[in-house]
Structure 1
Amino acid sequence: SRMDLQEPQQLGMFAESELMSVGMDTFIHRIDSTEVIYQPRRKRAKLIGKYLMGDLLGEGSYGKVKEMLDSETLCRRAVKILKKKKLRRIPNGEANVKKEIQLLRRLRHKNVIQLVDVLYNEEKQKIYPLAQGCCFLNCALTYMVMEYCVCGMQEMLDSVPEKRFPVFQAHGYFCQLIDGLEYLHSQGIVHKDIKPGNLLLTTNGTLKISDLGVAEALHPFAEDDTCRTSQGSPAFQPPEIANGLDTFSGFKVDIWSAGVTLYNITTGLYPFEGDNIYKLFENIGKGDYTIPEDCGPPLSDLLRGMLEYDPAKRFSIQQIRQHNWFRKKHAQAEALVPIPPSPETKDRWRSMTAVPYLEDLHGYNEEEDDDLYDIEDDIIYTQDFTVPGTGEVIVG
């Protein structure tokens, strides 16, 4: 209206110089920061079936990973939340997730991540358990409920300047990796993407092989372990894939990747590097690498056997198990690399994040519970860590 257009012109009663001298305080009421009372946003409980949702643990190309609490068993879980729209934008995204669910459902081993449950959410926002053999691809959201792991191996490596583990610790993890890999191969499964980023750890130091999205299940009546496709991480791929061979031994690909992993966790380096993927594959295809002298003869010999250029001459799992470095009991000469604090909350104990949501769900009031505690009592929280490969428990 005419009046609306004229109202802003009322400021014209002030000259420009007067406006500058009057200042914004004339028009905006200022308050001191000490007068502001900050109320943290209350965490609202969200149930997915029988599972109480916790905080975000991580995020990848396929979706988010959050902590969960099973309300029936009170077991701590992790859940992959997969969005159909996001999967469709990733090459082979839907197929890889469907394959991972099918594979994990048939696997049971202490060193392979366990799939506990699968739920899906239709457009109507109703939660249903995913029946055996059911296709989830028409669902808006799919929830893969997994056993909970406190940390990833790559996260532990990144938390220390050396980017490696002491030999004693690396040996314990490597032995568990070989145990899990041997089980997968016994089930006719080629992982194809063994690397520290896909190895998870529990609070007691148990290693779990995870992320079977690019894995391949061999046909039950296949004559051998021949594979034709690979989608693994470039730095961990063997020469036969770098050189573009049409067919290759799947099991020997996993042996090579495990060898690169062992090289990395004991030296903090990679056997092959390149400014880009083409240069990296060129270097891998040539097969020339060096092993740091401080690795020592036994470890160097094992690495050479696992990083053998010719797949036919490359070590088998049986040869790895019989190797002196694998069988040797290594002394703890250096301090262990601990599980680092949570990157989100900086909590060194990585406490259960579902607790605030439990309080919201059951109406917990801190003021009402004051009489349960003696103010003078000191509560000390400790956490036990089991050194991998040993029975020794360190109390922190």
Structure 2
Amino acid sequence: LRMGNCISEKKGEQNTRYVQSKATVDKLKSQYDINMKVLGSGSYGKVFLAQNKEDATIKIAIKVMNKRDMSEDDLVSLKREVQIMQQVDHPSIVKYYETYDDKKYIYLCMELCTGGDLFKKITDRGKPMSEKEAAFLIEKLLKALQHCHSQNIIHRDIKPENIMYGVDDEIKFIDFGFALVVNKKKASLDIAGTPYYIAPEVLTGKYGRECDIWSLGVCLYQLLTGRMPFDGRDQPEVFGKIKSGVFVMPSKLSPECQDFIKRMIEVDPSKRITSLQAMQHPFIKNKGGEIQAQVDSEEQAKLDKDIVNNLKKYRGQSILKRAAMNVLVKQLAPNQIDTLKKEFEKMDKDFSGFIEVKELEQAIKQADLEFTAQEIRDIVSQLDFAQNDKVNYSEFLAATINTSQFLTEEKLAAIFKTFDVDNSGQITAENIKDAFSKFGKEVSEDEVREIMEAHDLDGGKTISMEEFTVMMMGKV
């Protein structure tokens, strides 16, 4: 969702649009029933459960924020958060959908996580996690961090309250309100985060991505012991202990677990383990299970040939269909895409959450398939919806999923409404530009012209629901 120059020069001007999109809150209300249930509330406003009016299986969370209660800094922070949420695409990070606003409120549409947060899990169970269970969970979160860190994104507020359980108990990072893109190894930044989880270098105001590893290490310690490594009567005492890095390591923990925690909660950020190194540590490899399971069998590690052929076929699809397929895959439950997720992870050797040309080349070679170097580059280029010379998770799913299995009439209608921005019952050239801006992508006049020429079958200068259905179900 492109924001543009959307924050008022005049503080407190109530009619300033936050979202640079013609889609209004009326459009949101026509698409979702947002009066279902309040999921939570805070100083920012309330979070509502919303249900898609076209497809009752699609439920999302909508955070409603009152502009009157937000300063200009709050608006700048929210704009940055949305831009970062558009950039990340990982199964262990909550999905961002879109944002709407009116004169009084901003409506942030996100994936619904129904399982509560990790803090609630810790308190409800009343006893520490086993090492195996904790390692399995931490491995997923490390993959998500590697995805962020490979793009120079720092979360800066990792704590159990910002780790949620979604559908099928899938674990996910949420709340990127403090997240930043930092291109230097260390930058001069403000102190951000939650006191018990803050890394020592954050307190100096000069830090980088290593601070996330420290915070996740503190979470792991808490999961395994039921207490904090650094505690105190007040904030200065807690910060003093954090700076010293001295904490009690329970002897009941296995040697490899103790070593792993020490490497994560290391005072010197230059000596602290990275997310990629952490995934290769014996604690994760021996107890987490996911990474080891991937390489147990050379035959299982081979890429499914049908997957590669689907990637090749997908090359000729129009950018409108590819965008619509990206909308579809974000609506599917984890169990519906589990097989494809595993195929993606076979290729994603560096756990960045992206497939690059060299990784696809290697996977195709292992699968004993014959593709030229140019064909492989073309596959990546055609699938590269985000235009970053690599294929992200949703792009891969969109290219390889069995459309006929999941594309019901209800889902078709719901996806159509995503592009029918002004709720006219037709998709116009302006609608296409506006919808793509909500995905964080600019489309040129030539691209829009090509879309209309390909899918406006009756020459009416719009794309009807019938024409949209032909596009989605056919090979156009």
Q: Is the structural similarity TM-score above 0.5? A: yes
TM-score, normalised by the number of residues in structure 2 = 0.53
Q: Which residue of 1 aligns with 2:248?
A: 290
Match of 1:247 in 2: 206
Q: Per-residue CA shift, 1:208-234, capped at 9, x if unaligned?
A: 11111111112xxx3435342231011
Alpha-carbon deviation of 1:104? 0.8
Return the letter of the residue paired with 1:215.
Answer: A
Structure whose CA Rg is larger: 1
Offset at 1:318? Answer: 2.4
CA distance in 1, matches of 2:235, 2:279: 33
Partner SS for 2:257: helix
- Residue aligning to 2:185: 224
* 1:155 equivalent among 104, 120, 126: 120
Q: Pick one of 100, 118, 137 that aligns with 1:119.
A: 100
How far, CA to CA, are the matches of 1:330 and 1:108 in structure 2?
22
Find the counterpart in structure 1 of residue 40 from structure 2.
58
- 1:165/1:65 Cα in 2 relative to 1: closer, same or farther (>3 Å)? farther
* Counterpart selection for 1:84 from 43, 67, 92: 67
- The structure-2 alpha-carbon separation of the partners of 1:385 and 1:158, relative to structure 1 and needing over 3 Å to count, comes to farther
SS in 1 for 2:51: strand
Q: Kindly provide the amino acid, as one letter, of the partner of residue 85 in structure 1.
A: R
In structure 2, distance between residues paired with 1:65 and 1:282: 36
Is 1:141 matched with 2:105? yes
Q: What's the secondary structure of 1:229's corresponding residue?
A: coil
| CA distance in 2: counterparts of 1:165 and 1:55, whole angstroms | 32
Quick one: structure 1 residues 264 and 73, their matched pair in 2 at CA, closer, same or farther if it must change by over 3 Å? same
For residues 227 and 70 of structure 1, do their structure 2 counterparts lie closer, same or farther at Cα, with a shift above 3 Å needed? farther
Give the one of 254, 259, 267 matched to 2:217. 259
Unmatched 5+ stretches in structure 2? 1-27, 290-333, 343-476
Cα distance in 1 for residues equivalent to 2:33 and 2:121: 27
Cα distance in 1 between the residues matched to 2:32 and 2:194: 33
Q: Give 1:241 deviation, angstroms.
A: 2.5
SS of corresponding position for 2:191: coil
Aligned to 1:71: 53
Using the TM superposition, give the Cα deviation of residue 385 of structure 1 relative to its aligned residue in structure 2, in angstroms: 10
Identity of aligned residues (%): 28
CA distance in 2, matches of 1:85, 1:113: 27
Q: Deviations over 1:233-276 (max 9, x none)?
A: 1110112223xx2422x211011011111111111111001111
Shift of 1:61: 2.7
Distance 1:324 1:234 in 2: 30
CA contact (8 A) 2:30 2:53 kept: no
Match of 2:231 among 269, 273, 287: 273
1:300 CA displacement: 0.5
Residues 313-332 of structure 1 aligned to structure 2 (within 5 Å): 313-329=271-287
How do 1:342-353 and structure 2 match up within 5 A? Answer: none
Q: Following superposition of structure 1 onto structure 2, how do residues 85-100 of structure 1 map, counting pairs within 5 Å?
A: 85-88=68-71, 92-100=73-81
CA contact (8 A) 1:205 1:385 kept: no
Corresponding pairs, count: 266
Query: The residue matched to 1:200 in structure 2 has which SS?
Result: strand
Verify the 8 A CA contact 1:238 1:253 in the aligned structure 2.
Answer: yes
Measured against aligned partners, the alpha-carbon deviations of 1:335-389 in whole angstroms (never above 9, x if no partner) come to: xxxxxxxxxxxxxxxxxxxxxxxxxxxxxxxxxxxxxxxxxxxxxxxxx999x9x
Aligned letter for 1:153? L
Question: CA 1:86/1:291 → structure 2, altered by over 3 Å: closer, same or farther?
Answer: same
Q: 1:236 to 1:282 in 2, by over 3 A?
A: same
Contact 2:137–2:171 under 8 Å retained in 1: yes
Deviation of 1:72 (Å): 2.6
Instruction: Provide the TM-score with structure 1 as the length reference.
Output: 0.63
Cα separation, 2, equivalents of 1:223 and 1:146: 30
| AA of the residue aligned to 2:152 | G
Is contact 1:121-1:141 (8 Å) kept?
yes
What root-mean-square deviation, in Å, do the aligned CA atoms of Structure 1 and Structure 2 show?
2.6
List per-residue Cα deviations over 1:54-73 (Å, max 9, x = no partner): 21111223221111112233
Superposed CA offset, 1:297-346 (max 9, x none) = 11110000011111111111222112101101369xxxxxxxxxxxxxxx
2:173 to 204, 209, 223: 209
Do the aligned residues in 1 keep the contact of 2:188 with 2:206 (CA within 8 Å)? yes
2:138 corresponds, among 147, 150, 174, to 174
Pick one of 91, 96, 101 that aligns with 1:110.
91
Give CA deviations for 1:273-297 in whole Å, capped at 9, x if unaligned: 1111111111111211011111221
Conserved 8 A contact 2:163-2:174: yes
Gaps of 5+ in 1: 1-46, 123-139, 332-383, 392-396
| Matched AA of 1:235 | Y
String of CA shifts for 1:91-126, please: whole Å, max 9, x gaps: 94222222111111222111111111211122xxxx
Q: 1:84 to 1:286 in 2, by over 3 A?
A: same
Structure 1 partner of 2:388:
none
Query: Which has more strand, going by share of residues?
Result: 1
Task: Give the secondary structure class of the aligned counterpart of 1:328.
Answer: helix
Report if the CA contact (8 A) 1:259-1:307 is conserved.
Answer: yes
1:237 paired with 2:198, answer yes
Residues in 2 aligned to 1:385 and 1:276: alpha-carbon distance in whole angstroms: 45
Verify the 8 A CA contact 2:139 2:288 in the aligned structure 1.
no
- Structure 2: distance between partners of 1:179 and 1:232: 21
CA–CA separation in structure 1 for the residues paired with 2:143 and 2:276? 11
